[in-house]
């Protein structure tokens, strides 16, 4: 799409980033979707970890609506180590943390003599499905990602199996990595698998955890999403991640469920 911004973020100084329209949330045009900030913090945490370490899990807390304004990224080491390392990062907007993340990095090593089941993904549909997204697709984040549903039926509340492809780089002037490609879409598990009609119910994730088995490969990430609801106003959205190489990891999001 020729009218897309060149990236989700424009670097404007040391650890400073300007969010573009591609970060725009469907819930609030002046706020960011949770996916791009998650990927930006993971990018900084990954760079700080150094060679030989791979991000295994990232937990992100959204401390309120994320303003679509210039942001600074701060990284702090929590638990140093040669084989296992924990660090945290904050996205600072208007002098206050808007997003907080903690990531575990684990040192890579020899191939073990066993492996889990491959869990190959379903075939990639030939064309995007109509009415897949829970809101009109004229918002920035919705346009910056290509969505193809494994089930080509019209969109309805409930479980969803969706192939995703991020269309632009995370940061202008830098190649889009497999890690960024995956984390940009991971926070969409809730939106893709809404259990109740969007027009009548709120489904708000204050946090998101993604655990990755291996480095993502290829341009496409498949999400098998499902939302479960409790009888006291909470929910849990989950997604199994796959790519052309097979099983990739898991996403989990706690949810606030309320009637509008």
The secondary structure of residue 190, as a DSSP letter, is H
Percent of the chain with pLDDT over 90: 82
Q: Write the pLDDT tens digit of every residue in 214-236.
A: 999 999 999 999 999 999 999 99
Domain limits of the chain? 9-107+127-259
Q: Any residues with CB less than 8 A from the CB of 68 and at least 6 apart, and which?
A: 19, 23, 24, 30, 31, 32
Check residue 260 and give its pLDDT: 87
Kind and range of the H or E run holding 129: none
Distance CA 144, CA 141 (A): 5
Distance CA 93, CA 100 (A): 12
Q: Give strand pairing partners of 161.
A: 224
Distance CA 211, CA 85 (A): 15
- Residues 64-83: what's their mean pLDDT? 96
Give yes or no for a contact between 160 and 225, defined as CB atoms under 8 angstroms apart.
yes
Class of domain 9-107+127-259: mainly beta
Check residue 170 and give its pLDDT: 98
Q: Write the pLDDT tens digit of every residue in 107-123.
A: 999 999 988 888 899 99
Model confidence band, residue 137 (pLDDT cutoffs 50, 70, 90): low
């Amino acid at each position: 799409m020729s009218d897309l911004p060149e990236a989700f973020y424009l670097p404007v100084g040391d650890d400073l980033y300007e969010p573009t329209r591609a970060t725009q949330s469907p819930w609030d045009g002046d706020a960011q979707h949770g996916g791009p900030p998650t990927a930006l913090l993971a990018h900084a945490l990954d760079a700080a970890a150094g060679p030989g370490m791979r991000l295994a899990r990232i937990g992100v807390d959204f401390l309120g609506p994320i303003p679509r304004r210039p942001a600074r990224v701060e990284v702090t080491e929590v638990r140093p180590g040669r084989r296992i390392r924990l660090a945290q990062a904050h996205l600072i907007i208007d002098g206050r943390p808007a997003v907080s993340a903690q990531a575990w990095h684990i040192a890579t090593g020899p191939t073990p003599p066993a492996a889990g089941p491959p869990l190959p993904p379903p075939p990639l549909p030939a064309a995007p499905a109509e009415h897949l997204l829970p809101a009109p697709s004229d918002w920035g984040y919705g346009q910056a990602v290509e969505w193809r549903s494994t089930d080509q039926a019209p969109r309805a509340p409930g479980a969803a199996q969706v192939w995703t492809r991020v269309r632009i780089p995370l940061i202008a002037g830098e190649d889009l990595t497999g890690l960024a490609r995956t984390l940009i879409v991971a926070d969409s598990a809730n939106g893709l698998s809404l259990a109740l009609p969007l027009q009548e119910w709120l489904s708000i994730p204050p946090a998101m955890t993604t655990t990755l088995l291996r480095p993502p490969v290829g341009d496409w990430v498949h999400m098998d999403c499902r939302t479960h609801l409790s009888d006291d106003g909470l929910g849990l959205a989950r997604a199994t991640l796959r790519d052309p190489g097979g099983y990739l990891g898991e996403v989990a999001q706690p949810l606030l469920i309320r009637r509008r």
